Structure formats: C-alpha cells, structure tokens
C-alpha cells in the first residue's frame, strides 16, 4: 500500500514537471489538463485516506492481536507458575517426609550402633582384662625364668671368667719364664754373633735348614770333599743329575755360608752416625772381606768337571746381602774373576725352588718310557671296554625290541578287553588274571 502511494506521488511530480516544461515552450489551453489534474488530486486524496484507514486498521488489528497474545501468555505463565508451585509443594512435602523417615532411620541406626558399641566395648574390656592378666602371669613366669637363667648364666660366666683368669695368670707366669729363657737365648745369640766360629756355624745351620726344607735329602750333600788329594771340604753341595745313575756321575754346585758381621756392623754404625769417612772405610773393608772369601771358594771348592764352573756364597742376612748386591762393580768382579754368585735367604730359596722344578721335569722325562707303557696298557683296556660296550648295546637293543613286542601285545589285549563290562562293586585291578596274558607273552 505504501509502495503504491509512493508511485502515485512520483507520477504526479513527473507530470507537474512535464506541464511546467510545456508551459514554458508552448502556450496551449490547459483547462482540460487542469480538470484532469484536479480529478487526479481528488483520487490521490481518496487513495491517501484509504491507505491511512488501512494502516490504522492494520495497527489496530496488530494491537488487538498482541493484547490477546499477551493475555494468553500471562494466563499460560500464571497456569505454569501455579503448576510449578503445586509441584514444588508436592516435592517439598515428599522430601520432608523422606527426610523425616531418614532421620527416624538414622536415629534408630544410631541407637542400634550405640547398643552394639556398648556390647563390643564390654567384650573388648573383658578381653583386654583377660589379656592383661595373661600377660601379667606370663611376664611373671618369664621374669622367674630369666632370673633363674641369669643367675645360672652369671654363676657359669663368673666361674668361666675366674677359670680363664687363672689360666691367663698361669700363661703369664709361663710367659715370664719364656721371657727369661728368651733373654738367656738373646745373650747366647749375642755370644754367637760375636764369635767367629759360632757365626759360621749359625750360617751353616740356616743354609742347611733351607736345603732340607726345599730339596730332597738325595739332592744335596754335606761336607763334601771336592778333590781327593785335598783335605778341603765344602759345607754343602747341590747334586745336579749327570748322564748316568751312579753317584759319581752327579755334578756338584758348591755352596758355602759366610757372615762377615764385624765389617757389616762397623758399616751400619758409621751410617747411623752419618760419618761418611768411616762409612767409606768400612765399605772398603767389607768389599775386601767379600773378595777374600770368594777367592777362597774359587780356590778350594770349584773344580770342574767334578763341580760346576761357579760356586755360591750364601749370606745369611738380608741386610748384608742387600748391602753387597747394590755394589754392582763388586758383584761383577766376583762373577768374572772368582766365578762366585752372591745369594741371600730369599734369593737362595727361589734358586732352590727353580732347581726343584728342573729336577721334577728331568724325572718326568726319564719316566716317559714308563708313561708310554702305561698309556699302551690303557689303550688295550679301552679296546676291550669298547667291545664290552658293543655287547651291552646289543643286549639293550634286544631288550628294547622285547619291550616293543610286549607293548604291542598289551595294546592288543586292551582293545579286546574294551567290550568287557566290569562287574558292579569290583575293580579291574582286583582280578587275578589281568596280568596273566602279559606274563604268558613274556614267557613266549
């Protein structure tokens, strides 16, 4: 409707513009046109009134419809509110009744729990009282037992302690006696070390102990005369195996013990006093003494082929051996000019151990023929053992075949006996003839 109104207005404006343009360019009679225009204006006014009336009616209709909808909505909301209120009241009543029931049940449960707790408390109190009484009785018994055991243990320990103290006092008394004997022995040792003859004897005893500990008695000799025309005898000689088995076929290693303790003591005293001059002088005396003893060994005891082309000078003190061996020039002179090797207790023991291993290797080499003979006998026995194993294998194969036959016959009998019904109240194991077929098969 409004669109139609706007179209009419636009047409009127266009028509007025055309009329104005025509009036400017031509002078015509406008009376018919004015009449038409007047009629058109009247029609326009009627149209406007009609449009306004339609708009007013439309607005009134819309207002009425909105009033109706608001009234219906208000009525619906009122009805919904009433229903919701009613439902809420019902729910509240239901919850109230449920809460009251729950409160009643809770009160009943609380009362029941209190009663049960009272009963449990009474039972627990009674049990605790019984446990306390039992614990008291057991503690009294344990206390009595512990007192008895402690008393017995204390008496036993005190008796043992007094016994140990008595034994220790006896040992202390014996130790004091041993200390007195040791003091006497130290005095004797001092006498030995200050006497040339006894010093030599002590070195010989130590050397003999080493030889007896490591070598067998037949592997060395004592006080051996090297040359028949000479009366000189070496203290010890180690026997090296020769080409034959007789005693004369052995080659001897002469070993002589030397202990120049005076020169060594002077050297130690000078070194302790930090006296360089006295130390050098004592060292020269010690070297001269060692050379002299090596010369004696070379002249008296080294006689090839009866002996080896070298001898061993045994020094019974590790300190003296270290003092001599650290002078490399002296050691080279002894080996080159006098064919003498210096040895101390530790090095001589190692030398004897190496000789012992050599002796064992040589013995094994000599007995290799017997070993081969034993191996041949073992080989023959192994051949016989192989034949015996073959016979046993054949017997086992025969036994296996017999067992296979027995199993086949047993399966055949089981297949035949499957159709046989077992009597009520009896078991197959109780039948006396169950194993008879198997025994007959085995016998066959």
237: left (phi over 0), alpha (psi -120 to 50) or beta: beta
- What pLDDT was estimated at residue 423? 47
Q: Is 256 helix (H, G, I), strand (E, B) or coil?
A: strand
**3-state SS record for 347-359:** HHHHHHHHHHHHH
- Give residues with Cβ within 8 angstroms of 322, minimum separation 6: 344
Q: Provide the token pair at 88.
A: 């809420």
47 CB burial (10 A radius; 0-12, 13-18, 19+): middle
Question: For residue 414, is it within any domain?
Answer: no
In the three-class reduction of DSSP (H, G, I as helix; E, B as strand; rest coil), residue 302 is classed as coil
Work out the burial of residue 240: count CB atoms within 10 Å of its CB; fewer than 13 is exposed, 13-18 middle, 19 or more buried.
middle
Instruction: Decide if 301 is inside a domain.
Output: yes
333 in any annotated domain: yes
pLDDT, position 388 = 77
Query: Bridge-partner residues for 257, per DSSP?
Result: 314
Sign, Cα dihedral of 83, 84, 89, 90 = positive
Beta bridge mates, 330: none
225 bridge partner residues: 233
pLDDT at residue number 435: 42
In a domain, 182, yes or no: no
251: preceding bond cis by omega (within 30 degrees): no
By CB neighbour count within 10 A (0-12 exposed, 13-18 middle, 19+ buried), where does 93 fall? exposed
Report how many domains make up the chain.
1
* pLDDT at residue 347, as a whole number: 87
pTM of the shown model: 0.41
Q: What is the pLDDT of residue 24?
A: 67
For residue 433, is it within any domain? no
Query: Does residue 434 sit in helix, strand or coil?
Result: coil
Whether residue 211 lies inside any domain: the answer is yes
Give the integer Cα–Cα distance in Å for 162 and 160. 5
Over the range 280-302, which residues count as b (16 or more CB within 10 Å of their CB) and which as e? eebbebbbeebbebbebbbebbb
Tokens at 408, concatenated: 């086949």
**Going residue by residue through the chain (444 aa), what tens digit of pLDDT does each one get?**
566 666 777 777 777 777 677 666 655 555 666 677 777 778 778 887 887 888 888 888 888 888 888 888 888 888 888 888 888 888 888 888 888 888 888 889 888 888 888 888 888 888 888 888 888 888 888 888 877 777 777 777 777 777 777 787 777 777 777 766 766 655 555 554 554 444 556 678 888 888 888 888 888 888 888 776 666 788 888 888 765 555 456 788 898 888 887 888 888 888 888 888 888 888 888 888 989 988 888 888 888 888 888 899 888 888 888 888 888 898 899 889 989 999 888 888 888 888 888 777 777 766 666 666 776 777 777 677 677 777 777 877 777 777 777 777 777 877 777 765 444 454 444 444 444 444 444 444
Which domain, by its residues, includes 326? 195-374
The single-letter DSSP state of residue 217 is G
Domain membership flag for residue 72: no
Which CA distances in Å does 176 have to 169, 172, 183, 189, 343? Answer: 10, 6, 10, 19, 38
* Residue 264, domain member (yes or no): yes
Query: CB burial class (10 A; 0-12, 13-18, 19+) of residue 414?
Result: exposed
Name the residue with tokens 């007025």.
16
């Amino acid at each position: 409707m409004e669109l139609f109104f706007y179209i009419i207005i636009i047409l009127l404006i266009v028509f007025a513009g055309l009329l104005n343009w025509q009036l400017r360019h031509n002078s015509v009679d406008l009376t018919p046109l004015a009449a038409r225009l007047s009629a058109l204006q009247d029609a326009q006014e009627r149209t406007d009134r009609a449009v306004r009336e339609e708009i007013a009616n439309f607005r009134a209709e819309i207002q009425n419809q909105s009033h109706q909808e608001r009234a219906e909505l208000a009525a619906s909301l009122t009805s919904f509110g009433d229903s919701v209120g009613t439902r809420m009241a019902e729910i509240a009543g239901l919850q109230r009744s449920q809460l009251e029931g729950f409160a009643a049940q809770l009160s009943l449960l609380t009362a029941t729990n209190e009663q049960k707790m009272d009963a449990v408390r009474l039972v627990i109190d009674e049990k605790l009282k019984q446990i306390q009484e039992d614990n008291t009785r057991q503690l009294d018994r344990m206390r009595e037992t512990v007192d008895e055991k402690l008393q017995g243990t204390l008496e036993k320990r005190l008796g043992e302690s007094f016994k140990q103290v008595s034994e220790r006092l006896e040992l202390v008394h014996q130790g004091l006696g041993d200390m007195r004997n040791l003091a006497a022995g130290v005095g004797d040792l001092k006498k030995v070390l200050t006497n040339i003859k006894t010093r030599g004897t002590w070195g010989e005893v130590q050397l003999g102990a080493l030889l007896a500990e490591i070598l067998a008695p037949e592997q060395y000799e004592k006080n051996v005369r090297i040359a028949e025309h000479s009366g000189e005898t070496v203290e010890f000689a180690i026997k090296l195996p020769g080409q034959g088995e007789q005693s004369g076929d052995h080659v001897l290693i002469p070993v002589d013990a030397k202990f120049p303790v005076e020169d060594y003591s002077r050297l130690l005293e000078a070194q302790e006093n930090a006296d360089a001059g006295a130390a050098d002088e004592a060292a020269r005396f010690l070297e001269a003494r060692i050379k002299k003893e090596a010369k004696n060994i070379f002249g008296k005891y080294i006689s090839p082929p009866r002996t080896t082309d070298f001898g061993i000078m045994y020094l019974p003190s590790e300190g003296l051996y270290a003092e001599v061996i650290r002078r490399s020039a002296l050691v080279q002179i002894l080996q080159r000019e006098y064919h003498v090797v210096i040895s101390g207790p530790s090095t001589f023991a190692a030398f004897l151990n190496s000789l012992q291993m050599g002796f064992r290797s040589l013995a094994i080499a000599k007995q290799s023929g017997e070993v081969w003979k034993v191996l041949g006998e073992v080989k023959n026995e192994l051949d016989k053992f192989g034949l015996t194993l073959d016979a046993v294998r054949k017997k086992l194969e025969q036994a296996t075949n017999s067992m296979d036959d027995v199993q086949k016959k047993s399966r055949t009998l089981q297949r035949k006996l499957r159709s046989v019904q077992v009597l009520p109240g009896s078991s197959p194991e109780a039948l006396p003839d169950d194993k008879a077929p198997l025994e007959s098969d085995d016998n066959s």
